[in-house]
Chains A and B, each alone.
Chain A
């Protein structure tokens, strides 16, 4: 078996997600090649070469792949896929954007958001917002898979795989990158943080999210939000945790002023320890919380910050 892992690259750096996808590839077994595609991605390729279990790193460093637009990336993967039995990417917005194009061009199905590997052709994946887990078997000769990174522990950085260049260039006149507006943050990345503190509609307004800052600083936590908080305009949408936002599974998840709708639970119920702070003691979040504290968040949050 031979597996190609599409690396996640952000601004020339290798994203943490890739180490989790390599772990999923190891669970399948076989040679693991990592494809690093983009513009100015040599540093990311060197990072990828250190990942434990990687056989070799293939680098497609070309302006054609800048920002990993779906059309040229799909074309590139189609060129390379014949050498492999499996193509994997993280279920990030890039993986989700690009891999179904490859699958369709190769006339195979895709398995999305795989969270466990049973064997080389049988996998587990969540359906219905994580309220059911399906075991699925693919009969396709090429398995195209996106990986839920929280399902696999990241591999260590003890390897030293060789790096080779890929000289395939895919012309693309159909789509053009215009601009990117990235939210600036010094905090850990939401998907990889050990602790996440999230606010919901109960926070009242965007200004009040500052109440979470001090707690997040003390715990080294990322700050998340429910869809209600995002829709109300309190915080930007890339902070959203849930079925339609980010899926997180930190050691500790603190939900503040979040009722616990199915959609939100889908994004965080695999957290190791869940704490809920809510004034409504009937809120569904208390059914999944290991520790619940009923009360006014405007009194509890400052007290929590000072006592941590």
Chain B
């Protein structure tokens, strides 16, 4: 079966972000960018499914600016077979991305689509679910285990309070949680080979989708700073402070 994986270019998760002085957004100039960590897990899972003989082809797709092709090349170096880049410089909201991905699903007819559970920039946690709704496919969100069995996939999901397993009829949409797997690193020869793998470049207009946002970003602020605390010297002092100063005991 063909597996489609969606990836997103985001600010590197180790970077401490800065809010622009005019509060219009977060400052992304000269900031290190990378593949969203949950997307790396999605690519890894697809590659493992291929190694098990379950997946026959891995197609990786992204919606974003030209620079996002770097992340597609990374996915190709990790084992994806070909890439689709839907190029747009607009701030694409989850719904627009889901609509574009739904068109790609229509065209490619994959047996499974794997996405990360959320992107660490917008922290939305929406796209996979929206894609499932738009394609009328079942969803296995926050997956920590994926097992394909004939025409079904068993997905173990991380839920509040523990784990839940659901059986979904294929084709299905799966979103990855952190513990699904440990992504591998791309090897140099694979990075070189990835440069020759096919990449289709499209635009939202090719799919007849408007990327314009429905939600306007009015202001971005830094969260309230916590005021500097004190170090205490002993357990007795700590208990005393908690009782008499902070009054939380």
Which residues of A does B touch, CB under 8 Å? 10, 67, 69-71, 74, 92-94, 96-105, 107-113, 122, 126-140, 173-183, 191, 195, 219, 227, 230-231, 236-238, 243-244, 246, 251-252, 262-263, 269, 272-275, 281, 286-294, 300, 303-304, 307-308
Closest to A194 in B: B248
- The reply to whether A286 and B229 form a contact with Cβ atoms under 8 Å apart is yes
A96-B139 Cα distance, complex, nearest whole Å: 12
Additional 6 contacts, C-beta under 8 A, given A244-B178, A294-B231: A101-B139, A133-B221, A133-B222, A231-B178, A231-B179, A293-B238
A304-B202 Cα distance, complex, nearest whole Å: 61
Residue interface bits B150-188, CB-to-A below 8 A is 1, else 0: 000010011111111111110010000111000000000
Cβ of B166 to closest chain A Cβ, rounded Å: 5
- Residues in A with CB closer than 8 Å to B161 are 10, 182-183, 238
- In the A-B complex, the 9 residue pairs with the smallest Cβ-Cβ separation, listed nearest first, are A100-B129, A104-B130, A174-B138, A182-B162, A104-B133, A100-B126, A290-B229, A178-B165, A101-B133
Closest to B128 in A: A100
B144 located at the interface, meaning its Cβ lies under 8 Å from any Cβ of chain A in the complex: yes
- The reply to whether B216 and A137 form a contact with Cβ atoms under 8 Å apart is yes
- The reply to whether B214 and A70 form a contact with Cβ atoms under 8 Å apart is no
- The reply to whether A110 and B126 form a contact with Cβ atoms under 8 Å apart is yes
B123 located at the interface, meaning its Cβ lies under 8 Å from any Cβ of chain A in the complex: yes
A104-B236 Cα distance, complex, nearest whole Å: 55
- Residues in A with CB closer than 8 Å to B165 are 177-180
- Residues in B with CB closer than 8 Å to A244 are 117-118, 177-178
B17 located at the interface, meaning its Cβ lies under 8 Å from any Cβ of chain A in the complex: yes
**Residue from B133, B144, B222 within 8 A of A132 (CB atoms):** B222
- The reply to whether B163 and A127 form a contact with Cβ atoms under 8 Å apart is no
- The reply to whether B232 and A303 form a contact with Cβ atoms under 8 Å apart is no
- Residues in B with CB closer than 8 Å to A109 are 93-95, 213-215
Main secondary structure of the interface of A (DSSP, over half): mixed
- The reply to whether A139 and B214 form a contact with Cβ atoms under 8 Å apart is yes
- The reply to whether A138 and B226 form a contact with Cβ atoms under 8 Å apart is no
- Residues in B with CB closer than 8 Å to A138 are 214-215
Main secondary structure of the interface of B (DSSP, over half): mixed
- Residues in A with CB closer than 8 Å to B205 are none
- Residues in A with CB closer than 8 Å to B21 are none
Cβ of A166 to closest chain B Cβ, rounded Å: 20
- The reply to whether A71 and B238 form a contact with Cβ atoms under 8 Å apart is no
Segment among B67-75, B189-197, B239-247 that sits at the interface with chain A: B239-247
- The reply to whether A97 and B235 form a contact with Cβ atoms under 8 Å apart is no
**Residue from A10, A96, A237 within 8 A of B179 (CB atoms):** A237
- The reply to whether B120 and A128 form a contact with Cβ atoms under 8 Å apart is yes
- The reply to whether A175 and B178 form a contact with Cβ atoms under 8 Å apart is no
Which residues of B does A touch, CB under 8 Å? 11, 13-14, 16-17, 19, 26, 93-95, 98, 117-118, 120-134, 137-142, 144, 154, 157-169, 172, 177-179, 213-223, 226, 228-236, 238-239, 241-242, 246, 248-249
- The reply to whether A243 and B221 form a contact with Cβ atoms under 8 Å apart is no
- Residues in B with CB closer than 8 Å to A287 are 228
Q: List 26 A-B contacts (CB under 8 A).
A: A70-B129, A96-B129, A96-B142, A97-B129, A104-B95, A104-B130, A104-B134, A127-B26, A129-B123, A134-B217, A136-B216, A137-B216, A174-B172, A179-B164, A227-B178, A238-B161, A238-B162, A263-B13, A273-B242, A281-B231, A288-B226, A290-B230, A291-B229, A293-B232, A293-B233, A293-B238
Cβ of B213 to closest chain A Cβ, rounded Å: 8
A64-B108 Cα distance, complex, nearest whole Å: 32
- Residues in A with CB closer than 8 Å to B122 are 127
- The reply to whether A307 and B235 form a contact with Cβ atoms under 8 Å apart is yes
Of listed A107, A109, A195, A262, residue having the most chain B CB within 10 A: A109
- Residues in B with CB closer than 8 Å to A100 are 94, 125-130, 133
Given contact pairs A132-B221, A133-B221, A183-B162, A93 touches B142 in the complex (Cβ within 8 A): yes
